[in-house]
Amino acid sequence: MAKNIVEKIDDLVKIKSVLISVSDKSGLEAFIPGLIEVNPEVLILSTGGTYSKIKEILGQKADTCLKQVSDYTGQPETQGGLVKTLDFKIYLGLLTETYNDAHKADLKRTAALAIDMVVVNLYPFSETIARKGVTLEEARGNIDIGGPAMIRASAKNFIRVASVVEPSSYPLILSKLKTNHGTLSLEDRFGLARKAFEHTAVYDRNISRYLASKSVNDIKSCYKSGE
């Protein structure tokens, strides 16, 4: 099967749709209104506690610019939020290339949107395992799956998508959006991609080191046998 070869991209990409799912919700009080100030027609997709926080920040404005991922995909979240964002429409929206006619046809066929920015930070794995007396099951439960997948997909497609992983980046991003009339440049997106891949690399390395420190006996002592 021939691979997609991208030959044409845009330097400036207007941020019209944003997917936000964060464990660390600091900075959203300024960032969310800032996004809407720059582009009043922006659509924000979100999940779970992040959706509730953004709805609280926006008040009545949430009715026009905020949508739950489950309403967008047509798939409700699974029990306990185990699966929220691992959906074809989400990843089509993240990986779609601007000038690819086949991608455009897939967007139309599935009624999907090209997502322009992802704002994601991950379950606090390192903070969890640093707590005294933490169990292996508590650690396992804080291994994020959907978050790293969204970060990697958006960072891979830096030719079109901005991948934001640090709340400390919010003020600079808003400043650039305001200066560039709601757009981010290729340089901006590429810089964010580098930070994003480093973020997931550190995250996975911490998980790997933690699991390497455990034995099968540690696992057996944590769980009851179903036999």
Contacts of 149 by beta carbon, 8 Å cutoff, 6+ apart: 85, 86, 91
80 has a pLDDT exceeding 70: no
User: What is the share, in percent, of the chain residues with pLDDT greater than 90?
Assistant: 79
What pTM value is reported for the model? 0.91
Beta bridge partners of 120: 21
Beta bridge partners of 119: 20, 164
Contacts of 114 by beta carbon, 8 Å cutoff, 6+ apart: 17, 93, 96, 98, 107, 160
Handedness of CA 162, 145, 197, 152 (dihedral sign): negative
Asked if 141 and 168 touch (Cβ cutoff 8 Å), the reply is: no
pLDDT band, residue 218 (cuts 50/70/90): confident
What average pLDDT does this structure show over 218-222? 86
pLDDT band, residue 1 (cuts 50/70/90): very low
Q: What is the CA radius of gyration of the chain?
A: 19
Question: Does the domain spanning 13-213 belong to CATH 3.40.50.1380?
Answer: yes
Beta bridge partners of 168: none
Domain map (residue ranges) of the chain: 13-213
126 has a pLDDT exceeding 60: yes
d(CA 22, CA 35): 16
Instruction: Please give the C-alpha separations between residue 122 and each of 27, 56, 135, 137, 202, in angstroms, as whole numbers.
Output: 15, 21, 19, 17, 11
